[in-house]
Structure 1
Amino acid sequence: MQLKHDWMKWRSGGVHVMPFDLERTLHIFSKTAQGGVQQVIAKDDADTEQIMLIREHLSQISQAFGQGDFSGPAKIHGADMPSLAELRTAQPGQIAILYQELPNGAEIDYATENTALIEAIHKWFDAQLSDHARHAVPGHPHHLHHGH
């Protein structure tokens, strides 16, 4: 069964790229007019191990993304993941990528004025929501545990 094989391949790839436990965390992808906000939070606010692992991972990938390196998502979701090619073509500074800690995890805010890149971010979020399935939800960041 191809779908099950792809999911198992994704799960095994995710272990190497994402250090936190998918069962103990939740991905939230919120589209905005300028791009979007990607959040990963621990399901248990007292799970300090997962919160630390989330923060380390999102901090690292936000730095990589800021340099145009989207190899992390390609390792998890495949090199042909929707919109990765478009995101890789962004010039330095064309997408503002801001990492921020949350009380129960962390987030990355992606913002640009380039309409093609905004559309690419939205499609990329849709693909991640599909791939992460029950470990991800669409959301609105202002409804979550924000520390600001």
Structure 2
Amino acid sequence: MAPMPSNPVQRQAEVAQRGKEVMPFSLAATTHIFTKTAQGGVQQVVAKKSDDGEQVRLTRLHLQEIREQFLKGDYSGPTRIHGQDMPGLADLKAAAPGQIVITYKDINGGAELGYATENTALVAALHRWFDAQLSDHGKDAMAGHAGHSDHSSHGQMKKP
């Protein structure tokens, strides 16, 4: 496990500042939810006020865009926000196309990406990557719980 930064509050402020350059939505007006699963995980971004149409639109647009980038092995967005040494990121970048199935779904108040793989090393990399994002996003992120009704479709591998 990567060592915790000596000043996590300062790191979170730096991540939030860099995030403004990559993410079109407001970190303060949204919550990132990271739920680990046996085959990967689910990343959700939801507006703190579900009737905030602009934040909902921007989260959906962003998650659709990064899904396309991730499917091509392009993790430059998270790299710019969290740094080259972000736990799990090197393994995700090195994954062969199709090794990680990434699905997009609109949800109430935002959107989600589901990540699934049969490769246990990549599952571990996804879990490290989720942990790093939870730490870096601080009060604007939370851990989800596997088995939650919104996540029921993500326990299954979808064959390409």
Regarding TM over 0.5, the answer is: yes
Greater than 6 Å deviation, 4+ residue runs: none
Which segments of 5 or more consecutive residues in structure 1 lack a partner in the other structure? none
Report Cα offsets for 1:116-145 as digits up to 9, x if no partner.
000000000000000001000000365366
Report Cα offsets for 1:20-68 as digits up to 9, x if no partner.
1111111000000000000000111110000000001100001100110
What's the CA shift for 1:9? 2.5
Which segments of 5 or more consecutive residues in structure 2 lack a partner in the other structure? 1-5, 154-160
Q: State how 1:63-78 maps to structure 2 within 5 Å.
A: 63-78=68-83
Paired residue for 1:98, among 74, 94, 103? 103
Q: CA-atom RMSD, angstroms?
A: 1.9
Report the count of equivalent residues.
147
Distance 1:14 1:106, change over 3 A: same
Q: Which position in structure 2 is the counterpart of 1:115?
A: 120
Report Cα offsets for 1:89-141 as digits up to 9, x if no partner.
10000000101111210000000000000000000000000000100000036
Q: What is the TM-score normalised by the length of structure 1?
A: 0.92
Paired residue for 1:35, among 23, 32, 40? 40
Q: What is the TM-score normalised by the length of structure 2?
A: 0.85
Distance 2:9 2:138 in 1: 13
Q: State how 1:77-96 maps to structure 2 within 5 Å.
A: 77-96=82-101
Distance 2:117 2:80 in 1: 25
Q: Which position in structure 1 is the counterpart of 2:20?
A: 15
Distance 1:144 1:76, change over 3 A: farther
Distance 1:142 1:60 in 2: 27
Q: Which position in structure 1 is the counterpart of 2:57?
A: 52
What's the CA shift for 1:78? 0.6
Distance 1:13 1:112, change over 3 A: same
Q: Which position in structure 1 is the counterpart of 2:137?
A: 132
Specify the SS of the correspondent of 1:22.
coil
Specify the SS of the correspondent of 2:28.
helix
Distance 2:66 2:81 in 1: 13
Specify the SS of the correspondent of 2:87.
coil
